[in-house]
Structure 1
């Protein structure tokens, strides 16, 4: 690390003091914030570097889980759990190279020491703390830099009325900057450069310059590391005899060249004219063929093309009709539910292939899903969740000593295909999610993952994510989300019910046990309202590409949690009384 060069100790501590003044207040007992370095940390190749990380407020982290990881949670650099280091899940390149600086976990400090810095260590790092029911993380950037060998400059010989100079160097990181300069410091702007990286990620550069002015005398090749600002250079003198001498045949060649070009142009014009005459005669001979024979041939080809296209069309239609998805309500004897298909994603299960193909055949896009009557279960609430009187809406508690977390639907799902729709309000600067969970995850907290039986998407600091760390690039923030569950074929998909666009589909898997609708409202004014759907009715609003042809189901008045403003500029919904999630709310 670069040592502090401030003129006084007070100025050196100024950035840390400013950071402490900006620390946010802690919302509830047991919660905390994680902070790292405010700016990038620079380290040179082969040295050791320390990445700072600490908890606020100060508390012991000896019984917490500490994890340093790269861009993804599973790219672990260092793991501390059960009061000891864990090496099984670490990336191979960091085994034996990482450790904590001192024993300061009891004071909430977890600075990571990385030994023998390599080029591959360059990039983003995340410091993650979890106490079993609350977790937080901070990110910081490590910039790796290395100064390579001094440049070697040599003359390769005369070329293009000048002298070619080659500058070679290796062992730099990141990519160095190359400059050629006159003796008075003026730069040469036109030169070529070839660069490559070795197995350790270090850059080698070969820069070539052609000097045509014999009065230059000497040139300097300079190599600069843009991170460290360190430069290495080498100058070389160009003897005047190296410059090529003018040939006496050059003036004669310049005079004869125009005459030669005129002769070639004349020959080309004559050849083209003869070729045109020959082609015209051949075309006249073709036109003498009987017109009837040509007409019959054209008709045969057109009929053949029509038959081939009709065969392909019939084949695709039969394949679609054979793979279409259907489901019935209740005991299997109820009315059919038809949904229009239009998702552009590719699903590996055969039951969804017809859904994807339906995008090619607008008249056949239908899916059968049953509208699922979701009622929130007060007994499944975890943390400070507040439910509405009709148990159709939820939001995070505003109690300063209790933050909200999760709740589940009362009705479980064990088979068939069903869907429900959720209207989400005030998602900016909040943390919330929705999806499906297994029965054993209804009243427990764990990091969301399909491996643990939780399939959710949601908002985290204004970023739309799947799982807990997969960003979803969307054109607009979805305010009305449809959750489609195909239990028999292991498919969970999410759609923006405003325009019918596809948001995300989890990889198919085999379900077991009972699945429940799952909702998360961690903090902020975010609220979720279950939209009223006609059970058993046809619902073709997702997924179709033309939203004008869709029948949209709307939330019934009085179901929404008041938020001060409606979705997409609409007026706020009617207020519904909210009840805290306690044992008293479990009675109907």
Structure 2
């Protein structure tokens, strides 16, 4: 039976190792150029992978939080090495909330799943593969976490011939914008800029007033928008007709009608009196045979 010479076997072995090293060396760690956006309570995936794809099953993968407080002893978010997850150096804040996709490691996918995110999770995360034979061994992923709430509208009074509405919404992060719209979607001029303040948990509350006039629908919408996390909340209100002050036009028409009625009544009285006086003087004139009819301008 013929066998390959030992030298030939060594050549094949060296060639295989060289090809493996070259292939591995060509792979780089890549992440996402765009930030990962989530709302508080969501589960998110921080993307990280090897391109071109090579197996990362036998590599070391370290996920660290770059924006954790400087006095934090442990900045490790998740660690994978020796073929398993390693939690000894994990920051307690992330305990039981991180995992990797073990079935995807062979494809170079070393992304991290973070569950039930909080506002404190927002920041930069580093994906680092120290054992990778490459000049690009790490990448950074930005996580933005937002919080939203439903706006609440109330009727606070009247101003002139309009109704004053108030919209309030708290528990927002990052800072939101507020605006009022009519039933056709047209933005209404508010009664001044929105009032904003932050609470002890760094959440924003916003409030704004608007004075609205009576329309065909009497429907108005308060919209709160957070562009950074692409979240929007709206609340609509219908203002009953009887809430609006009575129209001034109706009052004016009523006063005019009353004045006309009074003038018509006075004119009737004047006409009857003039007719009666003329008849009286005509009778006297007929009896005396003289012109006794007074000057009409002297009557009354």
Alignment match, 1:113: 113
Q: 1:228 aligns with which of 227, 230, 245?
A: 230
Cα deviation code 1:474-499 (max 9, x no counterpart) = xxxxxxxxxxxxxxxxxxxxxxxxxx
CA distance, structure 1, for counterparts of residue 246 and residue 142 of structure 2: 50
CA distance, structure 2, for counterparts of residue 235 and residue 187 of structure 1: 15
**Higher normalized helix content (fraction of residues):** 2
Alignment match, 2:51: 56
TM-score normalised according to structure 2 size: 0.58
Alignment match, 2:93: 93
CA distance, structure 2, for counterparts of residue 35 and residue 49 of structure 1: 18
Q: 2:244 aligns with which of 240, 243, 250?
A: 240
Q: 1:41 aligns with which of 36, 39, 43?
A: 36
Q: How does 1:161-560 map to 2 (within 5 A)?
A: 163-190=163-190, 191-198=192-199, 201-209=202-210, 211=211, 214-215=213-214, 217=218, 219-226=220-227, 227-237=229-239, 239-241=243-245
Alignment match, 2:102: 102
TM-score normalised according to structure 1 size: 0.32
CA distance, structure 2, for counterparts of residue 161 and residue 126 of structure 1: 59
> Cα–Cα, structure 1 residues 161 and 185, in superposed 2: closer, same or farther, change >3 Å?
same
Whether contact under 8 Å (1:67, 1:128) holds in the other structure is yes
Q: How does 1:569-584 map to 2 (within 5 A)?
A: none
Whether contact under 8 Å (2:21, 2:133) holds in the other structure is no
Displacement after TM superposition at 1:197 (Å): 4.5
State the SS of the aligned residue for 1:87: coil
Displacement after TM superposition at 1:137 (Å): 0.7
Displacement after TM superposition at 1:82 (Å): 4.4
* Structure 1 portions without partners, runs of 5+: 1-25, 244-588
Cα deviation code 1:514-570 (max 9, x no counterpart) = xxxxxxxxxxxxxxxxxxxxxxxxxxxxxxxxxxxxxxxxxxxxxxxxxxxxxxxxx
> Cα–Cα, structure 1 residues 108 and 133, in superposed 2: closer, same or farther, change >3 Å?
closer
CA distance, structure 2, for counterparts of residue 72 and residue 45 of structure 1: 18
Whether contact under 8 Å (2:219, 2:236) holds in the other structure is no
Q: How does 1:63-102 map to 2 (within 5 A)?
A: 63-71=58-66, 75-102=75-102
Whether contact under 8 Å (2:40, 2:119) holds in the other structure is yes
Whether contact under 8 Å (1:99, 1:114) holds in the other structure is yes
CA distance, structure 2, for counterparts of residue 91 and residue 197 of structure 1: 28
State the SS of the aligned residue for 1:241: coil
CA RMSD for the aligned pairs?
Answer: 3.6
State the SS of the aligned residue for 1:110: coil
CA distance, structure 2, for counterparts of residue 187 and residue 43 of structure 1: 28
Q: Which has the larger Rg?
A: 2
> Cα–Cα, structure 1 residues 44 and 153, in superposed 2: closer, same or farther, change >3 Å?
same
Alignment match, 2:260: none
> Cα–Cα, structure 1 residues 208 and 103, in superposed 2: closer, same or farther, change >3 Å?
same
Count of residue pairs brought into register by the alignment: 215
Alignment match, 2:253: none
Displacement after TM superposition at 1:222 (Å): 1.8
> Cα–Cα, structure 1 residues 82 and 224, in superposed 2: closer, same or farther, change >3 Å?
same
State the SS of the aligned residue for 1:93: helix
Alignment match, 1:140: 141
CA distance, structure 2, for counterparts of residue 196 and residue 59 of structure 1: 50
CA distance, structure 2, for counterparts of residue 228 and residue 242 of structure 1: 42
Displacement after TM superposition at 1:147 (Å): 4.1
State the SS of the aligned residue for 2:245: helix
CA distance, structure 2, for counterparts of residue 79 and residue 222 of structure 1: 43
Displacement after TM superposition at 1:180 (Å): 0.9
> Cα–Cα, structure 1 residues 182 and 64, in superposed 2: closer, same or farther, change >3 Å?
same
Displacement after TM superposition at 1:199 (Å): 5.7
CA distance, structure 2, for counterparts of residue 133 and residue 58 of structure 1: 13
> Cα–Cα, structure 1 residues 201 and 116, in superposed 2: closer, same or farther, change >3 Å?
farther
> Cα–Cα, structure 1 residues 233 and 38, in superposed 2: closer, same or farther, change >3 Å?
same
> Cα–Cα, structure 1 residues 72 and 44, in superposed 2: closer, same or farther, change >3 Å?
closer
CA distance, structure 2, for counterparts of residue 233 and residue 148 of structure 1: 11
* Structure 2 portions without partners, runs of 5+: 1-19, 69-73, 248-300
Displacement after TM superposition at 1:204 (Å): 3.0
Whether contact under 8 Å (1:120, 1:201) holds in the other structure is no
Displacement after TM superposition at 1:114 (Å): 0.7
State the SS of the aligned residue for 1:105: helix
